[in-house]
Amino acid sequence: MNINRRQFFKISAASLSSSGLAALGMTPTAAQADVRQYKLFRATETRNNCTYCSVGCGILMYSLGDGAKNAKKKIFHVEGDPDHPVSRGSLCPKGAGVLDFIHSPQRLKYPEVREAGSNEWKRISWEEALDRIARLMKDDRDANFIEKNDKGQLVNRWTTTGFLGSSAASNETGILDVKFARALGMVHLENQARLCHGPSVAGLAPSFGRGAMTNNWVDIKNANVILVMGGNPAEAHPVGFKWAVEAKVRNKAYMMVVDPRFNRTAAVADFYSPIRAGADSAFLLGVAHYLLTNDKIQHEYVKAYTNAPLIVREDYKFEDGLFSGYDAEKRSYDRSSWAYELGADGYALRDETLQHPRCVFNLLKKHVERYTPEMVSSICGTPKEDFLHVCEKLASTCVPDKTTSILYALGWTHHVGGSQMIRASAIVQLLLGNIGMPGGGINALRGHSNVQGFTDLGVLTTMLPGYLTLPNENQETLQAYLEQRTPKTLVDKQVNFWKNTPKFMVSFLKGMYGDKATPENNFGYDWLPKWDRSYDVMAFVEQMHKGKANGYIIQGFNVIAAAASSGKVREGLAKLKYLVVMDPLQTETSSFWQNHGEFNNVNPTDIQTTVFRLPSSCFAEENGSIANSGRWLQWHWAAQTPPHEAWHDGRFLGTLLMKLRELYAKEGGVCPEPLMNVDWHYHDPKDPHPEEVAKQLNGYALADLFDDKGNQIAKKGELLSSFAHLRDDGTTTSLCWIYTGQWTQAGNMMARRDNTDTGLGNTPGWGFAWPANRRLLYNRASADPSGKPWDPKRKFLHWDGVKWSGADVPDYPPTAAPGSGVSPFIMLQDGVGHLFSMGAMTDGPFPEHYEPEESPIPANPLHSGSGKSPVARIFKDDKPTFGSREEFPYVATSYSITEMFRHWTKHSLLNAIVQPEQFVEISEKLAASKGIKAGDLIKVSSKRGHIRGKAVVTKRVMTLQVAGQEVEQVGIPVHWGFEGTARKGYLANTLSPRVGDANTHTPEYKAFLVNIEKA
Amino acid sequence: MSMQSQDIIRRSATSSLTPPPQVRDHKLEVAKLIDVTVCIGCKGCQVACSEWNDIRDEVGHNHGIYDNPVDLTAKSWTVMRFAEHQDEGGRLQWLIRKDGCMHCADPGCLKSCPAPGAIIQYANGVVDFQSEHCIGCGYCVTGCPFNVPRINKDDHKAYKCSLCSDRLAIGQEPSCVKTCPTGAIQFGTKEDMKLVADDRVKDLKERGFANAGLYDPQGVGGTHVMYVLHHADRPELYSGLPANPAISPLVSIWKGVTKPLATLALAGVALGSLFHYVTKGPNEVSREIEEEIEAEDKEAAK
């Protein structure tokens, strides 16, 4: 014991001053002691869903007042909803801090304008703002609207003003976006899905039929092995990750993480192995090779439920990295040879013995034979023994009573070959027999809270709601469109559910144009814009940059921060005539013209764009529905009114459309019919209510409907209960066929709150899941062809002699008996899972590893040519912006971290406190070689610009051995910017290149080259 | 599990002659169990804690690590501490520990606190600071074997986790427990939490962590916040979690020797202090002493 004089004095002095009194019994008063008053008694409690990620956690919002008319509600506390089947009361740091997002000091309070060349915002009225915006839009539309193209085809498109929707907005806002933008003829209509999970749809739909997470959050608990690759759910989806941990803790599951850095998911996994960013296809094809060469496949499943036995055309070839049909000039493939050989009956030829050299099974074997463990290790930098360990664990689930659940997110979609990485995982899971199985599946963990919804609603350049496509200019008539878009059945007896395309399309057109859509005018088909090319985000940035765009309406989308190459976006925005930003927050996009020193070094006087900044409500101030990653549509309620003069998005769209109609009525103009005829019969056309829009999305019977036997299904004017009731004769309407059933005569199905577990964690009474309230897609594949569950412990559906029933709604014709020969993948033409994807992918029927456009190695060890994707989306003007490995030797990969959500949470004080400042992660070895210590400021440069951040020097980023050389990786969290509550930072996407995935034009954010230095 | 002022079993600086009411002692003893082996270090607990308790710390800096705020403060009652550890086989582990008040059964803070009723212990095990009685002397900081309480520079009062005593009082779980995404933080009776921990330790041993175990240190009589550790034999790997925490010897002196000596020998001064207490209150007495010490220090420095 070592006590100095001072400490002794302190102690004894305290004796005198206080305790002495007590010892003498002379405490002046009995000090009161009690717990803090509980702060929620009688506060108004409102149910909602978190606005950040796609887990869709239930939240309880507490507002001032007990609901009395004279009390103004204001949310003062938010916590998790314990009844919610997924979140069960939990909230991650983002959700737990959402109060400070709602009340962020950066919330917009009233409309403002920044005049061309001006250096300041000026407050204006809504009236003035909308008058001016309507004028600008009409002038641009009248000047640039294209009614007919050069070939004389009717195209009715407006290409010079674009519209970005927000994947954090509700479905009701989303469908109004679609109606508004398409009515005006806009073709650049996009949302964050383009920069996010676009490749999920492109990779999953051709494999299984639908582009969505196959299972759902809670189901992950049923897994035996969990592979987290191309994702980091502990950080990006912490509450959904609850169920992966549940699998570990309660189901003895083995969890593996393969990722460029040892992340927080790895912190709780059983096994972690590093991989070079962008090499995932090689890894997964190596797994397929391992399963095939070691005979670790679920034979019966593969034979019955995949296209392994089907025979491919003779002219299909694959040589040295190129599939048959390549046109080097156009950088694209003629995909006609990537198809089955058809018999005289029009059905695909098959060989049940799997012996035919051209059956899919043997083509796959041949295709993956190059992906040996040695090759995988060389390309990926993953130690061979690590790779084999992952293979062995996955292989252990090729038996019927074990499953692997694969969890991925942007770590796959954010690559130039992202769609094919997902395809590669699909091949692995089909070989293992893990699709349609509880505890199996490929779980695409979607990003934003409603990015699933905005994808469902087709807020994407060439899409329409319900995964219908927007017609292209060669589909000149409805008949031509339907003929091309309605797929032929390729295997006898199969459902081929897309054969119903005409019913879905006509019902959409009836929803779109209401009474104005008649059989005589092809239900208004001519009024839809027809596209000549993709007007995706990358393409529109290019267009702006070339000065070929004039206007941009941006709703809750911080495009300068989110799109690749922020510098080019900034330059593009500066060439616009007008920019309208509708957002709850001050974003970098709205203030792109403002000088923020090193972070945004521009001269406002040089920028002639007129910028309108309009305040919108946020999720906490609206009613509506959002779709989570598990396709659950959940209804939420407002807990306070929008602050100050903020408006709901629907009010903005409705008021603006009415102003445009007034202008067209008064002045005339180019092609007014679509915008005059779009159905906008709301109780207040200037401010549609979410409830009436949600019912429109669901759809109505427009006449008394009867089934084949003459039984009445619905009376005229009633809400429909199923998309099976839709008609192609104009007697039904549904704006989004997959959502039919969400709001029926029985009420709002999305608002249901019955969390009863019907088995294996399934809760069909909570909200509504598309399609048809099915919670686990392809669930018929959970049983063998004879109807027996593959695993008796995973009995999910059973045949009761008359129909299928069980814990879930069958994703299958309910009366197709076992042995009927109807296969489980009902959305596909052949009914089976696709190891070989025929013509659905633009870059190959099988995945192939191509090097990223900016690669740290001189050549792809697999090919003799460049070894890069022959069909990746690259604009000519961008080629000079790609850096070389000599100049930029390190692989950069960008990502999100737990405490933050993209570029939103920097506006929330609670989140700024826990992750205040921009940083960059590097290995100890790289740091040592550059003399960098943890906490030093470092500069990271790519050919496109630079950022600065604090160095986090860590063992968690490892130096890899790739193709005989050392490769260092640099980790770049993306969350900061020059607006917000957190410390000012650079937009991380200043660094990322403009190279897009061939299928989706989603940019490469996660494998490009940089250099670093001490700043 | 409700808790009212009547359920206090111990008060700081309170003589056995005037003890707190203790008749309602038939209470469930509660505990928070932190399973670091499934903790993802998301900081959801940090945020939920600040949100519930209506506190906002400063927006700080990145210090080259994930820890933020970098230490506990009067306005950050819990923080995640991150440690990278390479095991014997060369495989990396990222050991993440939620740090905060352990709610010791034998609380060093309470024992060392000279301000009557500023620190109390409830029958269910919660150790709570009653800030309005705090004199800001900082002895609780010295007395705490886990270095948890922090003095707020604005009001000179000590703060720390209350185990959400306001939520417990109406039958809810603490805010951090509710929010924890992975179930790494659980709450219940101490008995139940030990059983949960047993299961976890068994699972960890099966997964190759031979030294997995529960951290419920007996040097402080056990705690009402316990950890499941993969390396229970080396708690210090988790950002310096003490292997054998015990109340500082300073507190023993204060309790054992100094207090009676001071009381008896300086009764007259004590009476003077009563006068001082009545007129000025304890806070200022403390400051006077501090000033005196500072003056001495300056003198010594010359």
How confident is the model at residue B250, as a pLDDT?
A: 73
Q: Find the mean pLDDT for residues B130-155.
A: 96
Q: Give yes or no for B248 touching A (CB within 8 A).
A: no
pLDDT 10s digits, A412-439? 999 999 999 999 999 999 999 999 999 9
- Using 50, 70 and 90 to split pLDDT, how confident is the model at A846? very high
Is the pLDDT score of A633 beyond 70?
A: yes
Q: Which residues of A touch B296 (CB under 8 A)?
A: 6
Residues B47 and B191 grouped into a single domain = yes
- Paired with A783 in beta bridges are A789
Residues B281 and B139 grouped into a single domain = no
In a domain, B161, yes or no: yes
How confident is the model at residue B19, as a pLDDT?
A: 78
How confident is the model at residue A20, as a pLDDT?
A: 40
CATH code where residue B37 lies: 3.30.70.20
Residue B164 is labelled as binding a ligand: yes
**Contact of A911 with A94, CB cutoff 8 Å:** yes
Residues B232 and B255 grouped into a single domain = no
pLDDT 10s digits, A114-165? 999 999 999 999 999 999 999 999 999 999 999 999 999 999 999 999 999 9
Q: Spell out a b/e string for A925-934, using b for 16 or more CB atoms within 10 Å of the CB, else e.
A: ebbeebebeb
Mutation target vs A (from B6, B8, B47; most A CBs, 10 A cutoff):
B47
Tell me the pLDDT of chain A averaged across its residues. Answer: 96
CATH number for the domain running over A44-102: 3.30.200.210
Least-confidence region, from A838-842, A921-925, B141-145, B259-263 = B259-263
Residues 904-933 in A contacting B (C-alpha not used; CB under 8 Å): 909-919, 933
pLDDT 10s digits, A446-482? 999 999 999 999 999 999 999 999 999 999 999 999 9
How confident is the model at residue B248, as a pLDDT?
A: 79
Is the pLDDT score of A355 beyond 80?
A: yes
Residues B216 and B274 grouped into a single domain = no
What is the DSSP code string of B185-236? EEEEEHHHHHHHHHHHHHHHHHTT-TT-EEE--GGGT-BSEEEEETTTT-GG
Q: Give yes or no for A42 touching B (CB within 8 A).
A: no
Domain count across chain B: 2
In a domain, B270, yes or no: yes
Q: Find the mean pLDDT for residues A634-643.
A: 97
How confident is the model at residue A648, as a pLDDT?
A: 98
- Using 50, 70 and 90 to split pLDDT, how confident is the model at A30? very low
The Cα of A953 is separated from the nearest Cα of chain B by a number of Å equal to 7
How confident is the model at residue A770, as a pLDDT?
A: 98
Q: Find the mean pLDDT for residues A723-731.
A: 98
Residues B214 and B254 grouped into a single domain = no
Fold (topology level) of A876-1014: Barwin-like endoglucanases (2.40.40)
Residues 77-106 in B contacting A (C-alpha not used; CB under 8 Å): 84, 86, 91-94, 96
Q: Find the mean pLDDT for residues A313-326.
A: 98
How confident is the model at residue B24, as a pLDDT?
A: 76
Q: Give yes or no for A267 touching B (CB within 8 A).
A: yes
Q: Give yes or no for A4 touching B (CB within 8 A).
A: no
Residues B88 and B183 grouped into a single domain = yes
Tell me the pLDDT of chain B averaged across its residues. Answer: 87
Which of B237, B258, B291 terminates a domain? The answer is: B237
How confident is the model at residue A73, as a pLDDT?
A: 95
- Using 50, 70 and 90 to split pLDDT, how confident is the model at A339? very high
Q: Find the mean pLDDT for residues A392-396.
A: 98
Is the pLDDT score of B264 beyond 90?
A: no
Q: Give yes or no for A710 touching B (CB within 8 A).
A: no
Is the pLDDT score of A15 beyond 50?
A: no
The Cα of B279 is separated from the nearest Cα of chain A by a number of Å equal to 11
The Cα of B180 is separated from the nearest Cα of chain A by a number of Å equal to 6
Residue B274: give the domain boundaries. 249-301
Residue B264 is labelled as binding a ligand: no
**Candidates 3.40.228.10, 3.40.50.150, 3.30.420.40, 3.40.50.2300; CATH matching A198-448:** 3.40.228.10
- Using 50, 70 and 90 to split pLDDT, how confident is the model at A87? very high
Measured between CB atoms, which of A16, A21, A935 is closest to B63? A935
How confident is the model at residue B257, as a pLDDT?
A: 54
Question: By C-alpha distance, which of A568, A612, A608, A564 is closest to A590?
Answer: A612
Q: Find the mean pLDDT for residues A909-934.
A: 98
Residue B242 is labelled as binding a ligand: no
Q: Give yes or no for B267 touching A (CB within 8 A).
A: yes
Q: Give yes or no for B51 touching A (CB within 8 A).
A: yes
- Using 50, 70 and 90 to split pLDDT, how confident is the model at A51? very high
Q: Find the mean pLDDT for residues A660-683.
A: 98
Residues B210 and B284 grouped into a single domain = no
Residues B190 and B257 grouped into a single domain = no
Residues B15 and B130 grouped into a single domain = yes
Question: By C-alpha distance, which of A752, A848, A954, A717 is closest to A417?
Answer: A848
Is the pLDDT score of B2 beyond 70?
A: no
How confident is the model at residue B14, as a pLDDT?
A: 85
Mutation target vs A (from B9, B38, B255; most A CBs, 10 A cutoff):
B38
How many angstroms separate the CA atoms of A356 and A358, rounded? 5
Q: What angle do CA A983, A988, A991 make, to 5 degrees?
A: 145
Is the pLDDT score of A588 beyond 90?
A: yes
User: What residue has token string 């933008």?
Assistant: A181
In a domain, B121, yes or no: yes
CB contact under 8 A, B293 and A6: yes
Report the percent of chain A where pLDDT is more than 90.
96
Kindly tell me the burial class for residue A66, based on how many C-beta atoms sit within 10 Å of its own C-beta (0-12, 13-18, 19 or more).
exposed
- Using 50, 70 and 90 to split pLDDT, how confident is the model at B258? low
Residues B293 and B230 grouped into a single domain = no
Q: Which residues of A touch B174 (CB under 8 A)?
A: none
Residue B45 is labelled as binding a ligand: yes
Where in chain A are the domains? 44-102, 112-196+530-676, 198-448, 876-1014
How confident is the model at residue A6, as a pLDDT?
A: 41
In a domain, B231, yes or no: yes
Measured between CB atoms, which of B59, B64, B289 is closest to A983? B59
How many angstroms separate the CA atoms of A173 and A627, rounded? 13
Is the pLDDT score of A884 beyond 90?
A: yes
How many angstroms separate the CA atoms of A425 and A284, rounded? 6
CB contact under 8 A, B42 and A234: yes
Q: Find the mean pLDDT for residues A886-900.
A: 98
Mutation target vs B (from A7, A11, A976; most B CBs, 10 A cutoff):
A11
Is the pLDDT score of A984 beyond 70?
A: yes
Q: Give yes or no for A975 touching B (CB within 8 A).
A: no
pTM of the model: 0.94
| Residue of chain B whose alpha carbon sits nearest to that of A898 | B42
**Contact of A303 with A354, CB cutoff 8 Å:** yes
Which of B212, B237, B262 terminates a domain? The answer is: B237
Reported ipTM: the value is: 0.95
Residues 309-328 in A contacting B (C-alpha not used; CB under 8 Å): none
Whether the ω angle into residue A373 lies within 30 degrees of 0, i.e. cis, is: no
Is the pLDDT score of A1005 beyond 90?
A: yes
CB contact under 8 A, A77 and B51: yes
List the beta strands (DSSP E) in A418-567: 442-444, 463-464, 468-469, 551-555
Measured between CB atoms, which of B59, B114, B297 is closest to A912? B59
Which of B237, B257, B292 terminates a domain? The answer is: B237
How confident is the model at residue B16, as a pLDDT?
A: 74
In a domain, B242, yes or no: no
- Using 50, 70 and 90 to split pLDDT, how confident is the model at B4? low
Non-local (6+) Cβ contacts of A576 within 8 A are A544, A549, A550, A551, A552, A609
Residues B111 and B212 grouped into a single domain = yes
How many angstroms separate the CA atoms of A373 and B242, rounded? 45
How confident is the model at residue A531, as a pLDDT?
A: 98
Measured between CB atoms, which of B115, B182, B296 is closest to A241? B182
Q: Spell out a b/e string for B78-100, using b for 16 or more CB atoms within 10 Å of the CB, else e.
A: bbbbbbeeeeeeeebbbbbbbbb
Q: Find the mean pLDDT for residues B263-286.
A: 45
CB contact under 8 A, A13 and B169: no
pLDDT 10s digits, B189-213? 999 999 999 999 999 999 999 999 9
Fold (topology level) of A112-196+530-676: Rossmann fold (3.40.50)
- Measure CA of the first residue to CA of the last residue in chain A; give whole Å: 47
**Contact of A763 with A419, CB cutoff 8 Å:** no
User: On the CB side of A744, how many CA atoms lie within 13 Å of its CA?
Assistant: 18
In a domain, B244, yes or no: no
pLDDT 10s digits, A549-559? 999 999 999 99
Q: Give yes or no for A36 touching B (CB within 8 A).
A: yes
Structure tokens at B77: 């009652």
Measured between CB atoms, which of A8, A11, A913 is closest to B57? A913
Residues B73 and B136 grouped into a single domain = yes
